[in-house]
Structure formats: structure tokens, C-alpha cells
Structure 1
Amino acid sequence: MAKSAALPLLLTFFLFSQVNIAISNPAAGAAPQPINILAILQKAGRFSTFIRLLNQTQLASQINNHVNANSYGGLTVFAATDTAFRNLPAGTLNGLTTQELVQLVLYHIVPRFYTIKTLATTRSPVRTQATGRGGRILVLYFSGKANQKQVNVSTGVVRTTIYKPLTTRSPLAVYQLDKVLWTSQFGLSKEF
């Protein structure tokens, strides 16, 4: 009888000691915060138009789902600033169909995680997530010197420098651009 009375007491002691260990060290098993493209852009400021387009096209949630699912290869996003969008000819975005807006945003996304150094040394052309007329995959061209940490990106219509990274937390890299990546597939065939 003494054995059966001691068993619940031992179990209670064991459970409370385990709870105490878990409470005293809560960060030991804490998972990292999920990556959120919108939070990254909002924190940096200057990206309200790009944020609006990510929401309007529902690509923000797709990016977040992709990078938080431990997807192989990651993503690199080239985020154009509000000034870059203001420098487009008047009415340019309003003249695009919903599908063209989706493709425009996808043209700013490369299906691989790139650091500045790997962008500087990568072989061009680099495939984007966008497709053009006839289902043709749209590409970007990169040039630069890894030791100078400066990389230029060209669409064939627009050429700009890739500025500071907003994040390079694998599997997502986000870089600031001062021009909107544009191609003749979207209607304008000259740089602006």
C-alpha cells in the first residue's frame, strides 16, 4: 500500500520538475520567426507602391509561404522604391492588366537566394519568375565586381545598380532598386 501511495507523489514531483525546466529555459526550443516580405519592406520604408502591388497580386503570401516552407534554393526579390515607381511615365501602372501587374512583380523575383557576391559572379542571363508573350521566360542580366560589392542589373531596357540589401536571411534576399525592372514585354521599349 505504501508503494501505491508513493507512485502518485513521485509522478507529481517528476511532472513539476519537468515544467520548471521548460519554464526556466523557454528560448532553447523557440523556433525562429517566420520570414515576412511585407514586414521587411515596411520596416525599410520607401516601398509602399511595391507593397501595394505585392498585396494586389497576392504574391506577398506566395513569397512568404515559399520561403517559410524551407523551399530549396530560396528567393531573391528586387524591390523598387516609391521614387522608382514615380519615375515611370504617367499612367503606366494603370495601363497594365491584372495579369501584366502579376508578371511585372514576378519580374522582380529570382527563384534562388543570391548574395551580392553571388550576383556579381553569376552567369547571365538569370531566369526570373515572370513569363512574357508566348510563355517565354523573362530574364535579367547581372554584372559587377564581387570585391567592390556593387552589382548592376539590366533588363535590356532598364539598367540600374543594386543597392543595399534589406535582408539576406536565407532563404530570402531582398535588395533595393532605384528603377523599376521593365521590359518591352510590358509595353515600354525605352529607359525612363
Structure 2
Amino acid sequence: MASLRLYALVSLLLLLQAPVLNAHSAHPPPDAATVLTRGKRFSTLIKLLSAANLVPAANSLSTNTSGAGVTIFAPTDAAFAKIPAAVLNNLTQAQTTQILLLHVVAKYYDDATLPNPVPTLSTGKSLNIVKKQKKLFVSSGKVTTRLNCPLYQKFPLSVYAIADVLLP
């Protein structure tokens, strides 16, 4: 009799969890481009990612739930507006790609787990994470900017809006 009750209890628990499991599989995580587009302040970043053919790679990293995930420090349109258009327009594709990759970390981190330093996808480059008065800042060495509230933060994707473009 006791084993029948245990079986019934286990069966009930499995049935109660089934909708949760189905809900996760029915709604895959959003890709990086979708999150940035919904953020409405990242059209320059999306344009540059597209021109450098980095959107497919960013989307792949951001939706792979069996991988390490990805963290993106996303400069807003206002951040790019601080850089003179002549400078942005005269960057080579290789320079643009390295600047963009400096903003991407091939691992999911949230506020509590960001290491210092954090390696980026830009060859040999890391970013420093600094905590001042309970606020987080990210620094490339040349540029330091505050990490604002995450635009999106759920494994496998973490996106922080930043007010400055990080430069190598």
C-alpha cells in the first residue's frame, strides 16, 4: 500500500512538472539581434554587426542553451554618436570587427558572477570589471563606462546597455 502511494505521489509530481518542461521548450531563448532590436536604442550596433557579418555568430551563441552562453556589452546609439562620423566611417572592416568583438564575452555572466578581468572575443583583449559604490563599471583601459541595468539577463544570454563604445 505504501509503495502504491509513493508511486502515485511521484507520478503526480512528474505530471505537475510536465507543463513547466513544455513551456521551456515551446519558448526558446531570444537571439541577440532580437533583444537588441527590442531595446530600440541599438540600431547602430545592429548595423555594424550586420556589416561585419557577426549577427549569425552572436545569435548562435545567444541561443545555444547547451553551451557556455554569451555576455554582450551593447553600446547605445548615443554611445556611437559620441564618436565622430568620419572616424566611424574610416574604420576598416577588421578594425570594426575587433571593436565589436571587444564587447562580446563567450560566456554567460550576470552581475554577481562577472569576473575581473573578463576575456573577450577580441584577440588577446580582456575587459576590467570595477565596482565603485555598489555600481559596476567595465573598462577597456582606454574607456570606462557604467554597466546599466541589464537589457536582458537569462541564460544563455546577458546583454548590458553601455553609454560608451569600448576601444582597444
1:128 matched to 2:109? The reply is: no
- Larger radius of gyration between Structure 1 and Structure 2: 1
> Structure 1: which 5+ residue stretches go unaligned?
1-24, 132-136, 184-192
> Structure 2: which 5+ residue stretches go unaligned?
1-18
1:98 matched to 2:87? The reply is: no
Q: Paired residue for 2:131, among 141, 144, 151?
A: 144
Aligned partner of 1:165 in structure 2 is: 150
Pick closer, same or farther for the CA change 1:83–1:33 going to 2, 3 Å.
same
1:181 matched to 2:166? The reply is: yes
1:50 matched to 2:45? The reply is: yes
Scaled by the length of structure 2, the TM-score of the pair is 0.80
Pick closer, same or farther for the CA change 1:28–1:157 going to 2, 3 Å.
closer
- Give the CA RMSD over aligned residues: 2.0
Task: Tell me the secondary structure at the aligned position of residue 164 of structure 2.
Answer: coil
1:154 matched to 2:139? The reply is: yes
Matched letter for residue 129 of structure 1: L
State the identity %.
36
**Shift of residue 157, structure 1, vs aligned partner:** 0.6
Matched length: 148
Mapped partners of 1:75, 1:66: distance in 2: 6
**Shift of residue 71, structure 1, vs aligned partner:** 4.3
Pick closer, same or farther for the CA change 1:63–1:72 going to 2, 3 Å.
same
The answer to which structure, 1 or 2, has the higher relative contact order (CA under 8 A, 6+ apart) is 2
**Shift of residue 102, structure 1, vs aligned partner:** 1.1
Q: Paired residue for 1:67, among 55, 62, 66?
A: 62
Scaled by the length of structure 1, the TM-score of the pair is 0.71
Task: Tell me the secondary structure at the aligned position of residue 88 of structure 2.
Answer: coil
Mapped partners of 2:130, 2:84: distance in 1: 27
**Shift of residue 83, structure 1, vs aligned partner:** 0.7
